[in-house]
Structure 1
Amino acid sequence: MDGYAYDTALLILRVCLGLTMAAHGYNKFFGGGRIPGTAAWFDSIGMKPGTLHARIAATVEMAAGLGLAVGLLTPIPAAGFVALMLVAAWTVHRPNGFFIVKEGWEYNLVLAVSAVGLATLGAGRFSLDWLIFGHNWFDGWAGLLISLGLGLAGGIGQLLIFYRPPQRTETK
């Protein structure tokens, strides 16, 4: 494959993944329930305080999404994808199994792994990384380790510090 086709493929993947994630953040800020509705939902799933987590999630979704889309410091927004999707998979989708058709964690895995893959390959020539640095910013093993390491640390840290599973009540 010639270099321009490769870089075009990276651009297509970055823009699709990035704008998808940014749309989720936009929806939290400006969609139906906005931050108050999202905060109530976060409280209900055990991410407390809900308002803090609604703001953090919306901001990281938009920043990571747009950062990946434009290819700016690519492993950093990819780490945001990993952290966000780990928290979502653990708090919401884990009890439902793997498949998305049953509200499982399949979609979370695909977004996180795709972002890590892009961080490993690098943003390509059609990116701000290339424009600013003249090459990919920390691609290869460094991109993999930065995106996966920071993402897992962020997601696990958030779960350990803030996640309090809702108590299930038995009905008879």
Structure 2
Amino acid sequence: MYTMILDPWAMKKARSRFSRLIRPIGVAAAAISLTLVASGTASASTGVGKCSTTGASGEIDVYNWVDSGSRIDFHVGFLDTLADGHHARARLITKNFVGNQVTWPWHSDTDGANNGYTYVDSYAINDTGIYQAGIQIARFEGDTLLNSCTGWVS
């Protein structure tokens, strides 16, 4: 068994010397960390895509679209713009790195025309990558698509 006897005065001097030696290293490490964090943030892409068609309009805001490209977070806002008895729908569309298009599930606004935006916050993951993202806005009668538009994020 070992017993260590600590001299408080010696400890204070050691801490002081240690602080003088380590503080510059800590500042340099913090600067490097901030540089890495900033460059990581800079690699995330953002963008907006929007379109309007007869009876429906909307947009998508894509954020946290990192270089690896397998996940995006997005915010969609869309609305029914025509009092015609039909309803508006919106969905995310993506393309992977070889150009294959993926259509994601529809979100509906069945509350009637000009009642304000319907909002959706979600994310998409595609293991084959997400090279492009956009929004498809459409006007439907039941499950029949009447007309639509596509707006790619730029």
Q: What range is the shorter-chain TM-score in?
A: under 0.3
**Bigger fraction of residues in strand:** 2
Name whichever structure is richer in helix by fraction.
1
**Larger-Rg structure:** 2
- TM-score, normalised to structure 1, is 0.22
| TM-score for both structures, normalised by structure 2 | 0.24
